[in-house]
Amino acid sequence: MSTPDHPASMAAVALVVLATVLVGGFGLRISRTTSDFYVASRTVRPRLNAAAISGEYLSAASFLGIAGLVLVHGPDMLWYPVGYTAGYLVLLVFVAAPLRRSGAYTLPDFAEGRLESRQVRRLVSVFVVGAGWVYLVPQLQGAGLTLTILTGAPGWAGDVLVASVVVLAVAAGGMRSITFVQVFQYWLKLTALLVPAIFLVLAWQSDGAPRVSFDDQVSAFRADHPLYATYGLIVATFLGTMGLPHVVVRFYTSPNGRDARRTTVAVLALIGLFYLLPPVYGALGRLYAPELIHDGDADAAVLLLPARMIGGLGGDLLGALIAGGAFAAFLSTASGLTMAVAGVLTQDVLPSRGVRHFRLATVLAIAVPLGGSLLVGRVPVADAVGMAFAVSASSFCPLLVLGIWWRRLTPPGAIAGLLLGGGSALLSVAITVSGAVRPPGWPHALLAWPAVWSVPVGFLAMILVSLATPGRVPPGTNAAMSRFHLPEALTSGRAR
């Protein structure tokens, strides 16, 4: 495709990258004197935390991927934004408050605290690392694609750039004051999509508001078993959100279970607002950049539209805004995930501990997905993210839901469920990405959208094996359950 030089876009990307490194490295050094003590030691309010969660959550898949999918496959793909949002509803109803009250910082912490077993902890760590890596690959690929479109640089350049920026920012300062950075990233992303969208819609109206037609379905691989694929997507996204390592970590910031719930409600609103925008780009792309359907680079639609529809300096500036927002999306999600994966690697996988090991773990946490993104062929960004959701839904969802709501869960049951549910999902993803089984046909559909069967497998294995090992129910189960479900004021024996 044509790759015009966009100095404005380059500047925007450079600005975002620089800001991330500086803020990550040096931290927002807000020092206060004692008179502000109360302000300084105030916990993160639900709305602020919600914006931070949204900022970290809205990834390349949301920023570029959904528009690309809508462009190519039509309105059926609206299930993606619905699923990405509805996942928080499930999280709100079943998990948010008890998870916060458990005091766990990561999923392995939760597993250890609830099941009192080091083995389960280790296994969960392996899955967190696996799901995190699967999720990181599309972030890096999205960055590569964006940089190629902006500068014509080879595909690997963007991957390497984002990976290095993340390593620098995380390893240098451990992303200090990360909440404010992520809050900023959310509003940046929203602005970067909203403002150009307004101009694009105006341009579309001055063009006579032509109707968008999705009649000529060009679905490349979704042609076979679209209903099954949709269900696969729904199950994966609805149940997978609760297990995403970087989302779980952020709930720790809420001071108590009540605030964790309020945070989740606010997240629903913020994310819902954001997801109104990508379909607009998808529809407009169908009108003004239809050749992308056949290029295979439909993810680029969002980036190309301003230049196509408006052109001139205005188009360049809007394009720059989108490019900056896209890079913010890669950086925030990638750094959040890298932090989470590196944390688990230092604690549970690498032999000994210390700050130096955290840096080593950071490099490891991003080097593996970087290698993956360079070697593996390009899968549409939103699809690849869907796979990470499927792994998370099949392994962590049963663990969290049963761990929080079922007294009789045992360590052997948890291990069986993780291995059978999560393991089979991970395997399916690996086989799909490797291209060993190609469409069309049921085998490909089953492997590409494993959640429909792997989530029930995970739940069943966990329940059946737990029932078969009643003697292994951890002794602290009742204490843990009352901590999960009673308001903090009651369990602490003090009214506040």
Residues forming the site for another protein (CB under 8 A): 27, 29-34, 36-38, 40-44, 103-106, 109, 112-113, 116, 126, 129, 133, 174-179, 252-255, 339, 342-343, 345-347, 349-351, 353, 355, 358, 364, 368, 371-372, 375-377, 430, 433-436, 471, 483, 488, 491-494
Q: Is the dihedral of CA 302, 307, 310, 315 positive or negative?
A: positive
Q: Single out the residue of 301, 300, 310, 295 nearest to residue 282, CA to CA.
A: 301
How far apart, in whole angstroms, are the C-alpha atoms of residue 302 and residue 193?
A: 9
Whether 363 and 357 have beta carbons less than 8 Å apart is answered as no
Whether 47 and 266 have beta carbons less than 8 Å apart is answered as yes
Residue with smaller CB distance to another protein, 257 or 325: 257
Q: Is the dihedral of CA 417, 420, 422, 425 positive or negative?
A: negative
| Residue 255: cis peptide before it, omega within 30 degrees of 0 | no
Whether 397 and 458 have beta carbons less than 8 Å apart is answered as yes
Query: Closest approach of Cβ 238 to another protein, in Å?
Result: 27
Query: Closest approach of Cβ 418 to another protein, in Å?
Result: 15
Query: Closest approach of Cβ 444 to another protein, in Å?
Result: 14
Q: Single out the residue of 295, 367, 311 nearest to residue 148, CA to CA.
A: 295
Q: Which runs of consecutive H residues, i.e. helices, occur in 252-311?
A: 257-275, 277-288, 292-295, 301-309
Q: Is the dihedral of CA 106, 112, 115, 117 positive or negative?
A: positive
Residues in Cβ contact with 490 at an 8 Å cutoff, skipping those fewer than 6 apart: none
Torsion of CA 217, 222, 225, 231, to 10 degrees: -110
Query: Closest approach of Cβ 89 to another protein, in Å?
Result: 24
Contacts 24+ apart (CB under 8 A), 8-12: 8/316, 8/317, 8/319, 8/320, 9/150, 9/316, 9/319, 9/320, 9/323, 9/324, 10/150, 10/151, 11/320, 12/320, 12/321, 12/323, 12/324, 12/327
How far apart, in whole angstroms, are the C-alpha atoms of residue 74 and residue 217?
A: 7
Query: Closest approach of Cβ 158 to another protein, in Å?
Result: 18
Query: Closest approach of Cβ 368 to another protein, in Å?
Result: 5
Q: Quick check: helix, strand or coil at residue 413? A: helix
Is 115 exposed, middle or buried (CB count within 10 Å of its CB: 0-12, 13-18, 19+)? buried
Residue with smaller CB distance to another protein, 105 or 228: 105
Query: Closest approach of Cβ 301 to another protein, in Å?
Result: 24
Residue with smaller CB distance to another protein, 32 or 407: 32
Residue with smaller CB distance to another protein, 85 or 253: 253
Residue with smaller CB distance to another protein, 129 or 323: 129
Query: Closest approach of Cβ 361 to another protein, in Å?
Result: 9
Residue with smaller CB distance to another protein, 81 or 243: 243
DSSP 61: I
Query: Closest approach of Cβ 94 to another protein, in Å?
Result: 21
AA identity, residue 67: A
Query: Closest approach of Cβ 9 to another protein, in Å?
Result: 29
Residue with smaller CB distance to another protein, 121 or 286: 121
Query: Closest approach of Cβ 352 to another protein, in Å?
Result: 9
Query: Closest approach of Cβ 174 to another protein, in Å?
Result: 5
How far apart, in whole angstroms, are the C-alpha atoms of residue 484 and residue 130?
A: 27
Residue with smaller CB distance to another protein, 195 or 427: 427
Q: Quick check: helix, strand or coil at residue 481? A: helix
Residue with smaller CB distance to another protein, 237 or 335: 335
Residue with smaller CB distance to another protein, 36 or 295: 36
Residue with smaller CB distance to another protein, 440 or 487: 487
Residue with smaller CB distance to another protein, 357 or 408: 357
Residues in Cβ contact with 126 at an 8 Å cutoff, skipping those fewer than 6 apart: 349
Distances from the Cα of 317 to the Cαs of 80, 97, 174, 313, in angstroms? 29, 43, 33, 6
